[in-house]
Structure 1
């Protein structure tokens, strides 16, 4: 075998490991994100006073989730800078190892009966730190995979990485349902409340640490990064000149992505309980089916964009989701179906129309930035845009003065989809960007 052929084979092996590593990393990342939302929900009473009313309990539950969300942009900043200066591989290993260890620590925490209010305070603080590490994982691993990917396969590879998002939800939901059968939930002394919720956390931590072992052994640093030499001032450079314009465009686009996503992942589950009277188990089963189909939608959308171009696809899909997704959502709210099979079909259709476009996020954002700022730009562009949409409950409260509360989700969905179309229109076509050639230019023009 010639030296050139050997080099080609080695590059292909590196590409496959980088791609696999990015998917697995994002999967364990999102698995960790969903743990307090799904696995802990039936046992939240373990960490809070039994004397608290429902609204206060909801606030504390929201704080646990918000702590992770707040930590993610900070993690993207810290690890994005590190990845752009010192390498994507080391940043990924540190980030995943960090949240893996801390997730196991969370699974060992005593509850309110032992520590009092300190138990939930420590839990929230740990989730904040975990959020920092979680924000670092995709910030480093995804750019590494995209830098190994040939441009004609970036759509497919980016879509496959993003399937870690819905598949992680499915995994956590299935594990939680199984644990609830083994250790039923109930009062503070029930099996699930005392120890059942810990098992998914331990599994999440163990998977993260196993991933670290795989990544250290099998994944090589990005050749494109090694060729660039690293160093520099990525944070400063990101907010200077053309890079700043690129970041603003990505921020607008991702604000639309997150706002429309919240309409499905955050708001819809509650509506399934109040409008269709589904039990928690039925809600979980419905979302499991929907997210399995959405995972396929991620790949389909990403592959189609490789043929049509990212920009036109995003602009058109913003309209499809804004009109079609909103229409189906409105039909659901008007009909209030009670049949579980009908609900599953409608929810799956809503999820496919609104959420499938997320299959483009990894590839598109990475294509918008040069190697010297790619990890920082991707991480912050992806994470920082979550802040404004996170206040969706306040927007719903304001809209309630002019429409029934359950209908307030529809204007938010329309606005989110409009931001997707506008954000895409603000940027250039990116599918044919040559990463190596782009590094020699001042920046990718908008």
Structure 2
């Protein structure tokens, strides 16, 4: 067997070191997305059954709905703020430090939520503390992926970026399945029967503590295992001094400003289609209109999200072959036509069996959410290194605000058409906006960082 020369040994060790850094950065981004989504769904899945613990008794149904929605919406509103703040940190100080600080932050806030007293202890202040902490949590969550995802994409080989982006975003369905399994276990172990039952008093706190522990573990992983982006380091090596412009000023002018506008248009469309599937479909359609039981809905969604884990990765790999822009240009119109038709069937055809509903929901979700397997890679490729983290964070998060009010748009449209058609129309509109936004931009799969 031929012995390696000294130069070959050094080269081999260097390649191994780069490969290790690449794997660690990609795994860090996946778990950052996983923990982000885990934390996002904590109040939806775990806390929603016991929100009365934080509120006065005998509220009207309308007020209960408003207070429940605030807990979720404030988190979404905090995300663009965090994306901007931590995006600037990631572009100025480093992707790794932004990830460590943001992950540590939402770990602490999640733990504080687990320790909150109820309405009987401190009155309505209990609810407002919950809302405030969820807003702050949203800021840190918005910053978590702003550093982690650009870091992972910058370490990825050009020909593997599609797979990496799809793998990272697959942390979302993985988190959804995990949080539901944990919630089912908590409901089984700790009975829920009023505000004085074991689950209402402390059972719901266990998943929040677990979320804080996971965040702490991820922060330590970045401290010990993840190296700073070499691309970022090489780009910023010669840029020192207080006179340097902030990434924000570079982001909103010139070519980067035009790129950001294009990303915001595209993402507004795809966020609208995503919200119809991930928020309206389970609560507004499966439960209220199709009258599925809790077990039937959970089974349908668990199957769907299990499939999505693999189809997100598949979407990323397909777009790597045919191009990101072409992928969006094909899928967007399919969402507006085939997706809208499938949603129409669910919303308007009577007598569907449970297996038929599960199949249609699964196919619909795969089609409508498939752009998300490509989005992480694409947005990072749209910005230069100096503003990549800020551009990714702002483009990804700011665009969620307008689509978040989809329920209001459905209410307005119901003045002109049956309510059952409004979600179909919005899905069609979202698919078309996403397509137009994608066509406004260039192909990116061969972009060099």
TM-score, length basis structure 2: 0.95
| Gapped regions of structure 1 (runs ≥ 5) | 436-446
8 Å CA contact 1:163, 1:359 repeated in 2: yes
Q: Which moves more between the two structures, 187-196 or 138-147?
A: 187-196
Cross-structure match for 2:4:
none
1:100 equivalent to 2:100? Answer no
The CA deviation string for residues 63-122 of structure 1, in whole angstroms up to 9 with x for no partner, is 111111110000001000000000000100000010011101101101111111100100
1:376 equivalent to 2:383? Answer no
Q: Distance in 1 between matches of 2:279 and 2:427?
A: 12
Which of 248, 255, 260 aligns to 1:235? It is: 248
Cross-structure match for 1:197:
204
Alignment of 1:313-332 (within 5 A): 313-332=327-346
The CA deviation string for residues 135-168 of structure 1, in whole angstroms up to 9 with x for no partner, is 0011000000000001100000010000011111
RMSD between aligned residues = 1.1
8 Å CA contact 1:276, 1:337 repeated in 2: no
Q: Distance in 1 between matches of 2:294 and 2:106?
A: 28
Cross-structure match for 2:90:
83
Q: Secondary structure at the match of 2:442?
A: coil
Cross-structure match for 1:339:
353
Q: How many residues align?
A: 435
Cross-structure match for 1:274:
288
Q: Distance in 2 between matches of 1:191 and 1:341?
A: 35
8 Å CA contact 1:155, 1:305 repeated in 2: yes
1:244 equivalent to 2:257? Answer yes
8 Å CA contact 1:298, 1:356 repeated in 2: yes
The CA deviation string for residues 384-437 of structure 1, in whole angstroms up to 9 with x for no partner, is 0001101111101101112222321111101110011101100000000010xx
Q: Secondary structure at the match of 2:421?
A: helix
Deviation at 1:54, TM superposition (A): 1.4
Q: Distance in 1 between matches of 2:351 and 2:21?
A: 50
Deviation at 1:227, TM superposition (A): 0.4
Cross-structure match for 2:62:
55
Q: Which moves more between the two structures, 192-201 or 202-211?
A: 192-201
Q: Distance in 1 between matches of 2:144 and 2:351?
A: 40
Q: Distance in 2 between matches of 1:118 and 1:181?
A: 30
Deviation at 1:170, TM superposition (A): 1.1
Q: Distance in 1 between matches of 2:208 and 2:291?
A: 29
Deviation at 1:338, TM superposition (A): 5.5
Deviation at 1:281, TM superposition (A): 3.0
Q: Distance in 2 between matches of 1:49 and 1:211?
A: 37
1:405 equivalent to 2:419? Answer yes
Cross-structure match for 2:164:
157
Structure 1 runs, 4 residues or longer, greater than 3 Å off: 336-339
Distance verdict in 2 for CA 1:118–1:5, change over 3 Å: same
Q: Distance in 2 between matches of 1:184 and 1:338?
A: 33
Q: Distance in 2 between matches of 1:92 and 1:207?
A: 14
Deviation at 1:186, TM superposition (A): 2.3
Cross-structure match for 1:263:
276
Cross-structure match for 1:118:
125
The CA deviation string for residues 38-80 of structure 1, in whole angstroms up to 9 with x for no partner, is 1111111111112101111110111111111110000001000
TM-score, length basis structure 1: 0.96
8 Å CA contact 1:396, 1:408 repeated in 2: yes
